[in-house]
Amino acid sequence: MKHPSTFWPRGTVYGTLLNFDAELRALGEQVTQAPYKAAPQAPVLYVKTANTWSASGADIAVPARVSEVEVGASIAMVMGAPRFDALGGPAKPCVAGYVLVNDVSLPHTSFFRPPVKAKCLDGFLGVGPVCITPNEAGDPSGFVLEVRVNGALRQTVRFSEALRDAATLLADVSSFMRMRPGDLLLLGCGPDRPLAGAGDHITISAPGHAAFGTLANQLVAQEAA
């Protein structure tokens, strides 16, 4: 199958927080204390609104009021048309492919309220160049991401360590909201997400899955209004 030269989302982009045990462990006893009071039961989701999308190769502007942003390398499931069951019951959600993403955030330490001001800034979602097919992907638990800042390896994300693998995450999310064709669902960003600032060059690649290509974005200082 020939790939389009650049992929662009058509639907809503949903992100997933705390899909790695190490993210929860890093919070320690906070998890069971106020305001959270208990570990999450359902997937913890958020939306990356359309104003956040940046193509690979595009500059991402860092607001002057912060020195650094958090780099959230992940892989998104790209939803296809659901498959109906002739015997009845709900149609089964289907994945059309996978794409690299860079879910940029302003660093935030409280996960009590939705992260709109931290995650929905203009340009704050780098979107990889290629949507690879499920055949090319194989088992998504085999995905490994490498995140480089100015060429230096800063984070390795192994999706074999995710709390919910791709199929489980999709099933759990679909139990309360149907994903629509063209929607994206991120598999989580892993622990130890690197920080970077204006002037830094971020690349995200998946060794073993060269078909993804490389998602590259340059962080730049936001121009004064």
Partner 1 sequence: MKHARIAWAGAVHDAIEHQGQLLLADGRTVAQDDVVWLPPFAPVSRPRTILALGLNYADHARELAFKPPEEPLVFVKGEGTLLGHRGFTIRPPGVGHMHYECELVVVVGKAAKGVKRQDAYDFVGGYTVANDYAIRDYLENWYRPNLRVKNRDTCTPIGPWLVDAADIADPMQLALETTVNGNRTQSGNTRDMIFDIPFLIEYFSSFMTLQPGDLILTGTPDGVVDCQPGDMVITAIEGVGALCNTIVQGTPCASTT
Does 83 engage in binding with partner 1 (CB under 8 A)? Answer: no
Candidates 38, 86, 87, 152: give the one binding partner 1 (CB under 8 A): 38
Touching partner 1, residues 127-166 (CB under 8 A) = none
Does 121 engage in binding with partner 1 (CB under 8 A)? Answer: yes
Strands (E), the chain: 13-17, 44-48, 53-55, 59-62, 69-70, 73-79, 95-103, 125-127, 144-149, 152-158, 184-186, 195-196, 201-205, 215-221
Candidates 3, 6, 30, 40: give the one binding partner 1 (CB under 8 A): 40
Distance (Å, whole) CA 136 – CA 113 = 37
Can you tell me whether residue 103 is helix, strand or coil?
A: strand
User: At closest approach, how far in Å is the CB of 78 from partner 1?
Assistant: 14
* Contact by Cβ (8 Å): 217, 200: no
Distance (Å, whole) CA 68 – CA 49 = 21
Candidates 41, 86, 151, 152: give the one binding partner 1 (CB under 8 A): 41
* Contact by Cβ (8 Å): 140, 165: yes
Q: Determine how many CB atoms are found less than 10 A away from the CB of residue 67.
A: 10
User: At closest approach, how far in Å is the CB of 52 from partner 1?
Assistant: 8
Interface map 43-62 toward partner 1 (x if CB under 8 A):
-xxxx-xxxx----------
Neighbouring C-alpha atoms within 13 Å toward the C-beta of 131: 17
Does 111 engage in binding with partner 1 (CB under 8 A)? Answer: yes
User: At closest approach, how far in Å is the CB of 85 from partner 1?
Assistant: 11
Candidates 1, 28, 152, 176: give the one binding partner 1 (CB under 8 A): 176
- For partner 1, the binding residues (CB under 8 A) are 9-12, 14, 17-18, 35-38, 40-42, 44-47, 49-52, 63, 88-90, 111-117, 120-122, 174-180, 183, 225
